[in-house]
């Protein structure tokens, strides 16, 4: 039992070579960094210094997954929280015309977008390079690490975008895209430009377009203006005007219909009989005139 535990922790390598995939030693190399390494990589990912290459100078010798993972988690929480805060500030400035509620879907959507972008795009890029047979000195792990650190700049930008000023939000997002996009383009260009110049141009263009789409998606969905709620006063006033207009244009009802409407407890048969009697009854003038003629005709007969 003790032998199996030591082998699982990587303290004892199994026969046949290096650590197996189920051991901790196998994954330790992907997290072999300390705090200073992660801090320096985060800072240099936001500084596209001319004449330097972030991939070759900072990541190629020891790519890691520790920094990209926690950068993604921090960015997800920051975008979700600051997006709801920006929404709340916009609602508070609008007064009673809007109502506000916390949107939990932003958290799940932010996690989906961030981790799909930082994982699927490097995998797709590596697959395209492998399919084209480009002998580039870049591995899948290096690409995932590069994309993970390239998202660092959006963490402080998401905090500043909570101000709600759309001009400032657009300026910050475009600046973040320019900074991180320049780091990505310079790293990939140096790795691919020496092999095939046309492929390097196409890959760099696609990478920049996807990075711009990510920045625009962050701004347009997570920091957009709130959707107006139902304005109770305006709706009530419109309903009152519509009811008054309908009442004015409606035809006057007969006395029997008014009595039936005022007495909803009356049976339907009685209401129908009352309406029929009202319809078949002769006019009062005609009835009165007939009675007078009959009286005048009866007086000579009595004489």
| pLDDT tens-digit readout, 251-300 | 455 555 445 555 545 454 444 444 444 445 555 444 444 444 444 444 44
Greater pLDDT, 99 or 274: 99
State pLDDT tens for residues 35-64.
Answer: 999 999 999 999 888 778 898 888 988 999
Scanning 133-253, the segments in alpha helix (DSSP H) are 140-150, 154-160, 166-192, 197-217, 232-249
Q: Where along the chain do its domains lie?
A: 1-29, 32-222, 251-281
Q: Which letter does DSSP use for residue 30 in this model?
A: G
For residues 153 and 43, the answer to whether their CB atoms sit within 8 Å is no
161-199 pLDDT, tens per residue?
Answer: 988 788 899 999 999 999 999 999 988 887 776 657 788
Q: Which of 86, 95, 24, 62 is nearest to 221 (CA)?
A: 86
CB 148 within 8 A of CB 126: no
Q: Which of 8-12, 212-216, 277-281 has the highest mean pLDDT?
A: 212-216
pLDDT tens, position by position, 102-144:
888 889 999 999 999 999 999 999 998 888 777 667 889 999 9
**Highest mean pLDDT: which range of 4-8, 24-28, 124-128:** 124-128
Rounded to two decimals, the pTM is 0.67
CB atoms < 10 A from the CB of 286, how many?
9
pLDDT at 77 over 90: yes
246: confidence class by pLDDT, cuts 50, 70, 90: low
Average pLDDT, the chain: 75
d(CA 182, CA 49): 9
Please compute the mean of the pLDDT values over residues 201-217 and round it to a whole number: 93
């Amino acid at each position: 039992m003790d032998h199996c535990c030591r082998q699982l922790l990587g303290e004892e390598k199994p026969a046949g070579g290096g650590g197996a995939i189920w051991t901790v030693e196998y994954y330790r190399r992907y997290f072999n960094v300390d705090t200073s390494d992660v801090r320096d990589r985060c800072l240099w990912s936001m500084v596209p210094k001319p004449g330097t290459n972030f991939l070759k100078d900072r990541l190629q010798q020891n790519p890691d997954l520790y920094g990209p993972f926690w950068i993604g988690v921090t960015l997800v929480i920051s975008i979700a929280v600051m997006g709801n805060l920006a929404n709340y500030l916009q609602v508070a400035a609008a007064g009673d015309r809007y109502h506000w509620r916390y949107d939990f879907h932003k958290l799940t959507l932010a996690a989906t977008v961030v981790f799909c972008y930082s994982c699927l795009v490097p995998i797709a890029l590596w697959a395209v390079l492998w399919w084209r047979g480009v002998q580039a000195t870049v591995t899948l792990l290096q690409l995932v690490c590069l994309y993970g650190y390239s998202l660092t700049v959006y963490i402080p930008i998401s905090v500043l975008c909570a101000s709600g000023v759309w001009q400032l939000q657009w300026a910050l997002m475009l600046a973040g895209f320019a900074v991180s996009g320049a780091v990505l383009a310079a790293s990939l260009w140096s790795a691919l430009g020496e092999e095939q110049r046309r492929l390097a141009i196409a890959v760099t263009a696609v990478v920049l377009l996807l990075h711009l789409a990510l920045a625009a998606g962050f701004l347009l969905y997570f920091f957009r203006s709130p959707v107006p709620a139902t304005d109770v006063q305006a709706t009530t006033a419109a309903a009152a005007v519509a009811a008054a207009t309908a009442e004015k244009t409606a035809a006057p009802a007969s006395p029997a219909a008014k009595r039936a409407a005022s007495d909803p407890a009356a049976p339907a048969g009685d209401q129908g009989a009352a309406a029929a009697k009202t319809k078949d009854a002769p006019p009062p003038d005609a009835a009165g005139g007939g009675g007078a003629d009959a009286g005048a005709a009866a007086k000579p007969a009595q004489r």
